Amino acid sequence: MGYSVRTDRYRYTEWWRTKTTDQLNGSFIDRDVKPFNTPEFIEFYDYQADPDEAVNLANDSNYASVQ
């Protein structure tokens, strides 16, 4: 399940693991590996520089203060 915040310039999305997605993937949950209180995947896009969302900036330290 994903949750997004969007402005005219940016979109930030956190994708969270759920019991349903684990069942669909056929995997078992190991709470020591990936806890449920952290997002599974993060997306961050700058629409001014990248209107097509081609480059995920979630791990770009230049955007850390914006996220």
* Predicted structure pTM score: 0.71
Predicted local distance difference test score (pLDDT) of residue 46: 97
- Give 1-47 pLDDT, tens digit per residue: 789 999 999 999 998 876 655 555 555 555 555 556 678 889 999 99
Between 56 and 32, the higher pLDDT residue:
56
User: Residue 26: left if φ>0, alpha if ψ -120 to 50, beta else—which one?
Assistant: left
What range defines the domain where residue 43 resides?
A: 2-63
- How many distinct structural domains can be found in the chain? 1
Higher pLDDT, 26 or 65: 65
Whether residue 52 has pLDDT greater than 80: yes
